[in-house]
């Protein structure tokens, strides 16, 4: 490997940072597009190329893409429909188009398992589906990671001493650790077998969201409380809280859709995720 350069967009985020770190550990030159370069350096340390700017800045985006071999997109939209459209669709489209124009060899994209034409029934899922469609139409070789729920998302449901289980979440999910996912992303840049594929990223064990929260709650010293999506939507409307309203819509979506893809191809090409939820919880306590 001749030290290829990979641009990570969203490289200071919860799921983008582990990818940037893994790529660097595996010998890639890692470039970041960051609104706050100093914050990025403080978070990730030295040894990264950092371009100041954001995806909405066409000039900064082209500068960041110039001379790179690949670009990994790890963006998070929401909570409003306009924010999802801006980040999950339009930003992905613009990055893919600029990548084609600057001769980038491949684009990898973090998406979600419940994204398809059939499942485009919320602002998030519609925007993600449009973003995927735009990436495929760009002509740039791509890999789309259809990831299940990340273990790192569990602390986001904590309010004080309570862990909120929102809605009737009946589906079993193969929770995956961000570090396992990051290793798989890095491995994808070391083979051409992953090009123009949609790969399902599932962890080693399946739990319903409620059961996963019970395991995390035991380790975190909190209790699980139940909240219906309808009640959260009402509370969001009464308090003008767009995050609560958006979360209610999101969790209603996941009440309906469970995992229906197979991780076999991803595991064969990229290595099987190993970290269990209990192992992740124990490591987090240290």
Tell me which residue of 123, 267, 281 sits closest to 212, measured CA to CA. Answer: 281
Average pLDDT value over all residues in the chain = 95
State the pLDDT at residue 63.
94
Band of the pLDDT at 3, cuts 50, 70, 90? confident
Report the DSSP pairing between strands 158-159 and 162-166.
antiparallel
pLDDT in tens, 228-251: 999 999 999 999 999 999 899 999
Token code pair at residue 106: 């491949």
Q: In angstroms, rounded to a whole number, what is the distance separating the alpha carbons of residues 31 and 162?
A: 38
pLDDT in tens, 90-117: 999 999 999 999 999 999 999 999 999 9
Q: Which domains does the chain have, with CATH numbers?
A: 5-147+177-202+260-273 (3.40.50.720)
Q: Give the position of tokens 């992740």.
A: 280
- Model confidence at 284: pLDDT above 90: no
Please name the residues in contact with 103: beta carbons below 8 A apart, sequence gap of 6 or more. none
- Model confidence at 127: pLDDT above 70: yes
- Model confidence at 19: pLDDT above 80: yes
Pair 51, 60: CB distance under 8 Å: yes
Single pTM value for the model = 0.95
């Amino acid at each position: 490997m001749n030290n290829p350069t990979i641009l990570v967009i969203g490289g200071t985020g919860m799921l983008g940072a582990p990818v940037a770190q893994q790529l660097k550990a595996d010998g890639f030159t890692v470039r970041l597009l960051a609104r706050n370069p100093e914050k990025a350096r403080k978070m990730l340390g030295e040894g990264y190329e950092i371009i100041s700017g954001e995806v909405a800045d066409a000039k900064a985006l082209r500068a960041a893409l110039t001379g790179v071999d690949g670009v990994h997109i790890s963006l998070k939209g929401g909570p409003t429909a306009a924010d999802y459209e801006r980040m999950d669709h339009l930003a992905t489209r613009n990055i893919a188009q600029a990548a084609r124009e600057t001769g980038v060899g491949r684009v990898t994209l973090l998406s979600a398992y419940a994204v398809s034409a059939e499942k485009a029934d919320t602002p998030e899922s519609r925007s993600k589906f449009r973003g995927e469609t735009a990436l495929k139409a760009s002509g740039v070789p791509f890999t789309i990671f259809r990831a299940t729920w990340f273990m790192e998302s569990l602390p986001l449901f904590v309010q004080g001493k309570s862990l909120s289980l929102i809605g009737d979440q009946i589906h079993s999910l193969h929770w995956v650790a961000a570090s396992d996912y990051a290793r798989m992303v890095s491995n994808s840049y070391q083979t051409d077998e992953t090009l123009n594929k949609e790969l399902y990223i599932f962890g080693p064990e399946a739990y319903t969201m409620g059961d996963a929260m019970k395991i995390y709650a035991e380790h975190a010293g909190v209790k699980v409380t139940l909240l219906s999506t309808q009640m959260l939507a009402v509370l969001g409307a009464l308090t003008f809280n767009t995050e609560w309203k958006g979360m209610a819509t999101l969790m209603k979506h996941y009440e309906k859709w469970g995992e229906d893809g197979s991780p076999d191809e991803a595991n064969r090409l990229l290595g099987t995720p190993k970290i269990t939820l209990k192992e992740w919880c124990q490591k987090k306590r240290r």
